[in-house]
């Protein structure tokens, strides 16, 4: 599979976070928005804390928690884990594009796999995107095999935007079903935005 153009990037968040996100944008964990007081975390707390100890070896540097993380493909292992703890309908996708991030001049790095893994490398050059394992990133089933022991690692490749992503970087929102789509469309309208909202059940488990 070749790199999709435009190259979408995907961030998962709880539906309860959406009103604040649509007003203020997306802040990294180490530089939270002062306007957001009741953020609903959907990640594993121990893994989130670990991100504060993993250095980013390319400029602008810092640690993983200094960046807003996006996945490069949908249907992530993270969402699979979340689906065993709470209804997936609570989870929405904030969708941007690599090209939009570049257009806005936002600093970023990206990885060829899970950012924790020792085999994973960090990149910054746009030309390196084409070399990522796109078939693995978009795979529906990601259990490693003898033929492809790096499948799950590749599936979790990340696009990391330094500190903050403004609302105008988003190109759409995806949700599980029509019922949630209607709710999210109302939130978008209340925020004074024109942002497409789509129900994409194939991005869920």
Q: What SS3 state is found at 185?
A: helix
Check if 51 is active-site.
yes
Distance, in Å, from the CA atom of 82 to the CA atom of 26, rounded to the nearest integer, reads 20
Tell whether residue 198 is among the known ligand binding residues. no
Pairwise CA distance, residues 148 & 164, whole Å = 35
| Residues sharing a CB contact under 8 Å with residue 82, sequence separation 6 or more, in sequence order | 12, 42, 88, 91
Task: For residue 75, say whether it is annotated as part of any ligand binding site.
Answer: no
* From 51, 75, 100, 153, the catalytic residue: 51
Is 11 annotated to bind a ligand? Reply is yes
Pairing verdict, β 172-175 and 197-199: parallel
**3-class secondary structure, 71:** strand
**58 in a known ligand binding site:** no
Residues near 147 by Cβ (< 8 Å), separated by ≥ 6? none
Question: Which of 8, 100, 158, 181 is labelled catalytic?
Answer: 158
Is 117 known to be catalytic?
A: no
- List the end-to-end C-alpha distance of the chain, in Å, as a whole number: 22
Binding-site residue positions = 11-13, 51
Binding-site residue positions for NAD(+) = 11-13, 51
Catalytic center residues: 51, 158
């Amino acid at each position: 599979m070749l790199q999709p153009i435009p190259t979408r990037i995907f961030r998962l968040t709880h539906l309860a976070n959406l009103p604040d996100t649509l007003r203020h944008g997306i802040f990294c964990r180490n530089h939270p928005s002062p306007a957001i007081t009741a953020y609903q975390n959907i990640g594993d707390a121990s893994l989130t804390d670990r991100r504060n100890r993993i250095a980013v070896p390319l400029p602008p540097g810092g640690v993983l928690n200094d960046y807003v993380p996006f996945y490069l493909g949908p249907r992530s292992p993270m969402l699979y884990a979340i689906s065993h703890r709470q209804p997936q309908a609570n989870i929405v996708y904030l969708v941007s594009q690599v090209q939009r991030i570049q257009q806005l001049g936002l600093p970023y790095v990206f990885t060829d796999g899970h950012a924790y893994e020792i085999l994973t490398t960090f990149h910054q050059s746009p030309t390196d995107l084409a070399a990522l394992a796109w078939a693995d990133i978009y795979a529906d089933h990601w259990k490693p095999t003898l033929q492809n022991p790096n499948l799950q690692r590749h599936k979790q490749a990340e696009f990391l935007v330094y500190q903050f992503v403004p609302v105008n970087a988003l190109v759409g929102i995806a949700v599980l079903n029509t019922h949630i789509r209607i709710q999210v469309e109302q939130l978008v309208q209340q925020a004074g935005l024109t942002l497409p909202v789509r129900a994409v059940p194939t991005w869920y488990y």
